[in-house]
Amino acid sequence: MLEQLADIGELLGGVAVLAALVYLGIQLRETRKQMQATALRLSIDSRIAIWNKQLDSEALHCAKEKFFDDELYKRDVLLDEIEELTLRERRAESSALMIELVFAQNQFFQKKQQIIDEEQYKPLDYMSFLVPAPHRREWKDRLRLNGNFPNDYIAHVDEVVKKYDEVERIMDANEDADFFSTVNQVFNTPAPPNWIET
């Protein structure tokens, strides 16, 4: 009887040690994953900081004004094809777009790794920097093809671009359409809660 109890004790001890080892392995894997994600985030943040310092903010400001004043945001052309923009302004717009895309890629990675919560990755659903048609054209014809982005991120951006293209088609067909309402409709944004006053 004592021998059987000793065997059971050894078995339970072995199971406990095995469970502890499995738990430790899972914790080490999670820690390594977190460390890799942190290293990648820091690397991307560093790259973005360098690009931001190099960004010609004056040229970017001028380009933004022209986008608004001359309605350049409606033109479905590459940035290089917009004659109203100077070379400096085109480069600034292109650099700013790349910074936005890389920042969003970092968010996308953190969302995938479940490092950030839903509120933090909400901007990924809309990627508002893709509202201007020339930015979407740059993505479709150039940036998605340059090999700098992973396939799952490309697929995500493609979906957002398609939705903004649809928004634009609706806006073109109906001059009275409200942009924000159309975006909510196409992106299937949930309606705000209907608060009932008591």
- Looking at residue 7, what DSSP letter applies? H
pLDDT for 195 equals 62
Mean pLDDT of 175-179: 89
Annotated domain spans of the chain: 1-54, 56-186
In 55-196, which ranges are continuous DSSP H helix? 57-69, 87-112, 118-121, 123-126, 133-141, 151-173, 179-186
Residue 42 CB coordination number (10 Å): 11
Of 90-99, 131-140, 182-191, minimum mean pLDDT range = 182-191
Q: Is the overall model pTM greater than 0.85, yes or no?
A: no
Would you give the end-to-end CA distance of the chain in angstroms? Answer: 71
pLDDT for 3 equals 66
Q: What is the Rg, in whole angstroms, of the alpha carbon atoms belonging to the chain? A: 25
Mean pLDDT of 5-23: 65
Residue among 187, 185, 178 at smallest CA distance from 124? 187
Report how far residue 73's alpha carbon sits from residue 86's, in angstroms, rounded to the nearest whole number: 16
The answer, yes or no, to whether residue 196 has pLDDT greater than 60, is no
Report how far residue 88's alpha carbon sits from residue 95's, in angstroms, rounded to the nearest whole number: 10
Mean pLDDT of 80-99: 95
